[in-house]
Amino acid sequence: MFKHINDEINSVFKRDPAAKSRLEVILCYPGFHAMLFYRLTNWLWRKNVRLLARWFSNLARWLTGIEIHPGATIGKHFFIDHGMGVVIGETAKIGDDVTIYHGVTLGGVSLVKGIRHPQVGNNVIIGSGAQLLGPIIVGDNARIGSNAVVVKDVPEAATMVGVPARNVTKSMKDAVAGDITFTAYGIASEQLPDVVMKNFEEMEKRIADMERELLETAKRWESH
């Protein structure tokens, strides 16, 4: 029990430079409070004391602004930064060393019983306002940009941005090499690609290529 608490505190220090003391984390971090409640409610849920588990999780939601269903599976060193508006559904699974920011939803889109929520791998960062919907699989080391809406599986080490989210990582090697240090909000602002502008640039390039091909074809016909 105390080891879990110590791990949660260490996770905050590892990933939030604003943390000044262990006492500050214990008293002032809603993500830390939410995880303490979750460890209790998940234990009760697994012991089949489910009404009490739901009551405590609802109390935690009221106190912290973070809603974690007792049935969710969460690994080690999970860190919720700021936290307000975070929702994690019943069948969600989260690996080790995962970081998520405020406004994130790991939600379901089906009314059929079974796995309905995202299955998130290890060392994943999910930016503020991101929505991960359905029983999708998010690979290890993935980065989800702020306000992205993810409805399909995410490859390992991919960086996803946009609505719907697109993979903007050139290669898995580049993703891992380019993210040696912690990157707040999923991807650094100077690296965040403008997906819409990129599409326009690709369209302009394609149109220019087609115009050049047409011009060359017209010249060949004239030479005949």
Structure tokens at 216: 């060359």
Structure tokens at 1: 């029990």
* CATH T-level topology, domain 2-193: UDP N-Acetylglucosamine Acyltransferase; domain 1 (2.160.10)
Q: Mean pLDDT, the chain, as a whole number? A: 85
Confidence (pLDDT) at 185: 55
Contact (Cβ atoms closer than 8 angstroms) between residue 159 and residue 167: yes
Active site positions, annotated: 102
User: Under 8 Å CB-to-CB from 51, ≥6 apart: which residues?
Assistant: none
What single-letter amino acid sits at 22?
Answer: R
Phi, psi of 106, deg, nearest 5:
-110, 90
Confidence (pLDDT) at 180: 44
Farthest-apart Cα atoms in the chain, separation: 86
- Note the pLDDT tens digit of each residue in 109-156: 888 888 999 999 999 999 999 999 999 999 999 999 888 999 999 999
Residue-range domain boundaries for the chain: 2-193, 194-224
pLDDT above 70: percentage of residues in the chain: 85
Provide the whole-model pTM: 0.74
Residue 201 pLDDT class (50, 70, 90 cuts): confident
